[in-house]
Amino acid sequence: MPQLDKLLADLEEPEFLRQLEECLERGDDPAELLEECRGGMDMVGKRYETKEYFISDLVMAANIFTEALNKVRPRLGGDPKPGGTKIVLGTVQGDIHDIGKNIVAALFSARGFEVIDLGVNVPTQAFVDAVRESGARLVGLSALITTSFAGIRATVEAFAAAGLRSRVKILIGGGPVNEEVRRYAGADGVAGNAVEAVNLAESFSKEAA
């Protein structure tokens, strides 16, 4: 079994991509492969904390992961369906991490949702406006740095202030986001990875139907 996580953490780009191709060719589960790669990003984060890696290494790791996601995306299957359940997705204000959000977006599209991706560092009002314009009943907020938990909460509060809180289910996720953060922010659900995120969204959509 190749160690995709370690190859990514060591920034061994050509060998990492070669082995990823091999795994895809032999039919390994694409979502599981992405989770293994995510383990490599955790190692990168730890090396950054211990000052073995610098920001430039984080950028390089992010670029390699993005290439990996581009290779894996077609294998996730499905087609984006304009008529599917809509979800407004974005990384909250103050935060520019988007790899996890992009994986979540890819899996939602593959499972037949229509994803309205607002990108990164999204102002609270932009989420509210997107829900108003699209009529989406699901919102997904991503956050990777602890200082952006306040951005999650502010976004939830913005929906309340706009009188839309009961219309939408708000899912949150991203590295350190957990049940405690969900309670702090007043969101409806939290998921630890993209597969859990889609399953939770599907159960919310069924409830609403």
Binding site for ligand B12 (CB under 6 A): 35, 38, 41-42, 44-45, 48-49, 55, 58-59, 61-62, 94-101, 103-104, 140-142, 144-146, 171-175, 191, 193-194, 197
| Length of the chain measured in residues | 209
Q: Which is nearer to ligand B12, 30 or 100 (CB)?
A: 100
| Nearest distance, CB of residue 51 and ligand B12, angstroms | 10
| CB nearer to ligand B12: pick between 97 and 111 | 97
Residue 2 CB, shortest distance to ligand B12, in Å, is 19
Residue type at 71 in one-letter notation: K
Q: How far is the CB of 141 from ligand B12 (least distance, A)?
A: 6
Min separation Cβ 44 and ligand B12, Å: 4
Give 61 or 158: the residue with its C-beta nearer to ligand B12.
61
**Least CB distance from residue 188 to ligand B12, whole Å?**
11
Residue 187, amino acid: A
CB nearer to ligand B12: give 84 or 175: 175
CB 72 within 8 Å of CB 36: no
CB of 161 to ligand B12, least distance (A): 21
* CB closer to ligand B12 out of 103 and 136: 103
Is 160 within 8 Å of 125 (Cβ atoms)? no
Q: Which is nearer to ligand B12, 7 or 194 (CB)?
A: 194
> Rounded distance, CA 199 to CA 16, Å?
29
- Give the residue carrying structure tokens 């000052």: 51
